[in-house]
Amino acid sequence: MNKLSLLLAGGLLACGASAAPLKSGIDLQFVDASVRPQDDFYQHVNGRWLATTEIPADRGRYGSFDKLNDDTQEQLRAIIENLVKARTARTADEQKLVHLYTSFMDEAAIEATGVTPLLRPLGRIDATKDKAEYFTLAGHYNRVGVQTLLQGAVHQDAKDSSKYVLDLGQSGLGLPDRDYYLQDEPRFKAIREQYLAHIGRLMSLAGVPNADTQARLVLDFETAVARIQWSRVENRDPVKTYNVVAVADLSKLAPGFGWQAYLAELGAAAKVRSVVISQPSYFTALDTLLQQTPLSTLQAYQRWKVCSSFAPLLNKAMVEERFAFAGKVLRGIEQEQPRWKRGVSLVNGAMGEALGKLYVARHFPPASKQRMDALVANLVSAYRNSINTLAWMGPDTRKRAQAKLAKFSVKIGYPDHWRDYGPLQVTAGNVTLNAVNAAEFEFQRNLDKLGKPINRDEWDMSPQTVNAYYNPEQNVIVFPAAILQPPFFNAQADDAVNYGGIGGVIGHEISHGFDDEGSQYDGDGNLVGVPGWFTQQDIERFQTRTKALVAQYAAVEPVAGLHINGELTLGENIADNSGLAIAYKAWQLSLKGKASPVIDGISGAQRFYYGWAQVWRSKTREAQLVVQVKSDPHSPGQTRGSLPPTNQNSFFEAFNIKPGDKMFRAPAERVTLW
C-alpha cells in the first residue's frame, strides 16, 4: 500500500489551432494475437512483451511500475549531477543534496575508510554491562535507523485523529517473514543455512571476533523471536493492534524491560504519558525470552544488526557480501544496482521532498494536475452513484458511506508546503555520518509532532514516487506526480485506456476507505472497528463476499507449492476489484451518453481492459515471488492483471466471453463488491 497523480479530462489534446486525433494508448507491439483474449487475456495483451523482455540483472522483478521508476531515477540523477556540476550558487538544500550524493559516490574514500565507521557503534555494544542496558541501546538505534527487537514510531492516534501518539511494535527479524524461520520446506531450510553463513561472513569482514559462533547465536535467537511474533495477517487487524497502555503500567506488560531507559534514549520520556502497543503478547513473551537469554547473545544479535544496517555504505567487500545474500539468495537478483542508482536512492530517502521540489519544477506541468482533478471527480461520482445501488448495503450503511465519501480528501502531484530540512546536518565526504544524521533527523522530526495538532498537509510519499496511497486516519488519497505517466496515464490517448490504467489505480485507492480495514474508520479518520458504521447485517453480507474473494486468490499458485495468502492480500485484492469496477463506471460517466470510438480496431470497452492489463505487465524471479507471497499484502502482477476482470460482467460482454472459453467465470462465482 503504499502509495499517484494525472489525468485526461476528456475530449481532444490541443495541438496548435487544431486537434490531433487521439490514439488507442495500447502498446500494440506487445499484443500476442496468437492468444485469444477469451482464453488468456493477460497473455494476449502482454504476450510479446513477456516473450522478449529480460528481467534486468539488478532486479528481482520488472514491469510497468519498474520501467517508470527507472525513467524517474534517470531524471533524478540528471537533476543531482547537474547540481554537482553547477558553478552558480546553490541553495542550502541543494548543497546538502550534493554532499549526500558525492559522499556516497566517492568510492576511493569509502574504500580507504573501510569498516572504521563500525568501531564506535560496535564498541558501544561491547561496553554494555547488563541486559537492562540493552533498552538504552535499543532507544539509540531506533533513532538512527538500526533494527532492534522493538520499534517506536510517532503516528496519528487511530481512535483520536486529532492527535499524535507513540506506537511501539515488534521488530527484529533479518529474514523477510517469520515463516522463513519456522517452516520446514526445503526452500526455507536452504535459505536459513545460507543466512547463517552470511551472518558469519559479514561480521567477520567487520572485524567481529568469533563471527561464526556469534552467527549461530544470532540465528537461534531470531528464530525464538519469530516464534513469538504476530503474523502479518494478525497485524492487519487495526483493533487488535491498538492497545493504549499508560507508561506507568508498561512494567506490568513486560516487567524485565528497561522502559524508562528506552523512552529516555528515544527522546520521548517527557513527551508521553501513554503509548499504543501493537502486539501486547509479543512484548510479554519477549520479556520471558530475554530473561532466558544471556547478555552475550543479545550483544551478538545487536552487533549483527549494526553490521547489516551499515554494510551498504561501507567498503566493497561489505557491500558485495550483503548483496550476495539479500540480493542473490533471497531474491535471485544477479548483480548489484549501479552505484549511481544507489546514490539516488540514498538522497531520495534522506531528502525526498527537497529533491522532489526540483523534480516537480522540471517534470510535472500544472496542466497535469488540473486534468487529474477531473478524472478523480468522475471516480468519486461513480462511487457516489454505486453506494446508492449496492445490493449488500442497506439504507443506514449507505447514508454513512456517503458521509465518509464526502469527507475524502485528494492530494495530487506534490504537497502545498515543502518540508524544512534546515536542521539536517550534511557534510562533504562522510557518507555514514550523513546517513545516520538523516535517519535521526527524520526520527526527531516525527517525535517533535507529539503534543502538536495533526499536520494534514504532510505527505507520506515524495512526488517522485511511482506509487499512491490511502491513509485511513486522515481519510485522504495521495497521487504523487511520478505515477502520472504512461502506461498509467497517456495524455495523447483516448479516455478509455486512461480510465483502465490510472482510473483503476485511483479507484483502487478510494476503495481502501471501504475495504475490510479501511471500513473500520469513520470519515474523520477515527477507528470504530467492526461493524463500525456498517449495520451488523451489512457487514455480514460484505464478509460473505470477501470470503469468496479470499478463496479465489488462495487458489492461485504463483510458485510451485506456494499459494497466495488470500487473507494477507485481502485489502489490496478488494481494492483491485473495486477500483476496476468503479473506473469502468467512471469511464461511462465521462462519455456523457456518447458512443466511444473504435480505435485500432478495438472498442472503447476493450481498450479499457487493455489499459488495466498493461499496468500490471511484469515478470518476477522465483525467489522474489516467494518473498512477495510471504511478506507483501499485494498479489503478484500477473494475478492483479488477470483475475479482477473475471469478476466484472462488463469484461465478459466486451470480449464476448462464453462458457467453454478459458477466461469464463460463471456469473454466480463472480465476486461483485462495487
Task: Provide the mean pLDDT of the chain.
Answer: 94
**Concatenated DSSP letters for 580-632?**
HHHHHHHHHHHHTTPPPPPBTTB-HHHHHHHHHHHHT-EEE-HHHHHHHHHH-
CA distance readout (Å), 399 to 46, 379, 389, 407, 594:
42, 19, 12, 13, 31
Decide: helix, strand or coil at residue 275: strand
**pLDDT class for 537, splitting at 50, 70, 90?**
very high
Strand pairing report for 274-277 and 244-246: antiparallel
Q: What is the pLDDT of residue 21?
A: 65
Mean pLDDT, range 405-413, rounded to an integer: 95
The residue extents of the domains of the chain are 13-30+366-417+455-669, 132-294
- Establish whether domains 13-30+366-417+455-669 and 132-294 are of one fold: no
In this structure, the strands spanning 274-277 and 164-170 are parallel
Distance CA 164, CA 155 (A): 6
Residue corresponding to grid cell 549511481:
340
Calculate the alpha carbon distances from 112 to 107, 109, 314, 465 in Å: 8, 5, 10, 34
Instruction: Kindly indicate the confidence band of residue 193, based on its pLDDT and cuts at 50, 70 and 90.
Output: very high
If pLDDT is split at 50, 70 and 90, which confidence band does 401 have? very high
Q: How confident is the model at residue 375 (pLDDT cuts 50, 70, 90)?
A: confident
Separation of alpha carbons 229 and 663, rounded Å: 40
Instruction: List the single range of 13-22, 199-208, 323-332, 432-441 with lowest mean pLDDT.
Output: 13-22
| End-to-end C-alpha distance for the chain, whole angstroms | 20
pLDDT tens across 451-469, in order?
A: 999 999 999 999 999 999 9
Percent of the chain scored above 70 by pLDDT? Answer: 97
d(CA 248, CA 252): 9
Task: Please write down the HEC assignment for all residues of 415-478.
Answer: CCCCCCCCCCCCCCCCHHHHHHHHHHHHHHHHHCCCCCCCCCCCCCCCCCCCCCEEECCCCEEE
**Angle, CA 558 vertex, CA 556 and CA 562 arms, to 5°:** 85
| DSSP-assigned states of every residue in 210-221 | THHHHHHHHHHH
482 has a pLDDT exceeding 70: yes
Q: What is the pLDDT of residues 586-610, one digit of tens each?
A: 999 999 999 999 999 999 999 999 9
Q: Which CATH class is domain 13-30+366-417+455-669?
A: alpha beta
What pLDDT score was predicted for residue 5? Answer: 26
pLDDT more than 90, % of the chain? 92
- 73-103 pLDDT, tens digit per residue, is 999 999 999 999 997 778 999 999 999 999 9
Chain segment 38-72, per-residue pLDDT in tens: 999 999 999 999 999 999 999 999 999 999 999 99
The answer to whether 513 touches 561, Cβ cutoff 8 Å, is no
pLDDT: is 597 or 370 the higher one?
Answer: 597
Q: How confident is the model at residue 273 (pLDDT cuts 50, 70, 90)?
A: very high
Rounded CA separation 600/598 (Å): 7
User: How much is the pLDDT for 20?
Assistant: 56
State whether residue 562 is helix, strand or coil: strand
For residue 476, the cross-strand partners are 409, 471
So what's the pLDDT on residue 16? 30
Per-residue pLDDT band for 22 (boundaries 50, 70, 90) equals confident
pLDDT at 17 over 60: no
Topology of the domain covering 132-294: Neutral endopeptidase; domain 2 (1.10.1380)
| Residue 414 Ramachandran class (φ > 0 left, ψ -120 to 50 alpha, else beta) | beta
The model's pTM is 0.93
Q: Tens digits of per-residue pLDDT, 227-253? A: 999 999 999 999 999 999 999 999 999
Q: Which residue has the higher pLDDT, 184 or 492?
A: 184
Which burial class, exposed, middle or buried, applies to 327 when counting CB atoms under 10 A from its CB (0-12, 13-18, 19+)?
A: buried
Cβ atoms within 10 Å of 669's Cβ, excluding its own? 12
Cell of 89: 550558487
Instruction: Tell me if 313 sits within 8 A of 117, measured CB to CB.
Output: yes
Checking if the pLDDT of 443 tops 50, the result is: yes
**Burial group, residue 202, by CB count within 10 angstroms (0-12, 13-18, 19+):** buried
Region of poorest pLDDT, from 81-90, 109-118, 194-203, 335-344: 81-90
Tell me what pLDDT residue 171 has.
98
Contact 224, 297 (CB under 8 A): no
What gap in Å lies between CA 322 and CA 303, rounded to an integer? 15
CA distance 344 to 73: 7
Kindly tell me the burial class for residue 104, based on how many C-beta atoms sit within 10 Å of its own C-beta (0-12, 13-18, 19 or more): buried
Residue 4 buriedness (CB in 10 A; 0-12 / 13-18 / 19+) = buried
Burial class (CB in 10 A: 0-12, 13-18, 19+), 42: buried
Instruction: Flag whether pLDDT at 19 surpasses 60.
Output: no
Neighbours of 391 (CB within 10 A): 8
What's the mean pLDDT in 315-332?
Answer: 98
Cis peptide before 531 (omega within 30 of 0): yes
What pLDDT band is residue 10 in, cutting at 50, 70 and 90?
A: very low
CA distance 49 to 41: 14
Looking at residue 88, its pLDDT comes to 77
Contact between 191 and 175 (Cβ < 8 Å):
yes
User: Taking residues 25-34, what's their average pLDDT?
Assistant: 96
Expressed in percent and rounded to 5, the helix, strand and coil fractions of the chain are: 55, 10, 35
The pLDDT value recorded for residue 372 is 80
**Average pLDDT in the 562-577 region?**
98
Nearest to residue 504, comparing CAs of 384, 640, 653?
640
State the average pLDDT over residues 347-355: 98
Average pLDDT over every residue of 275-299: 98
Would you call 86 exposed, middle or buried from its count of C-beta atoms within 10 A (0-12, 13-18, 19+)? exposed
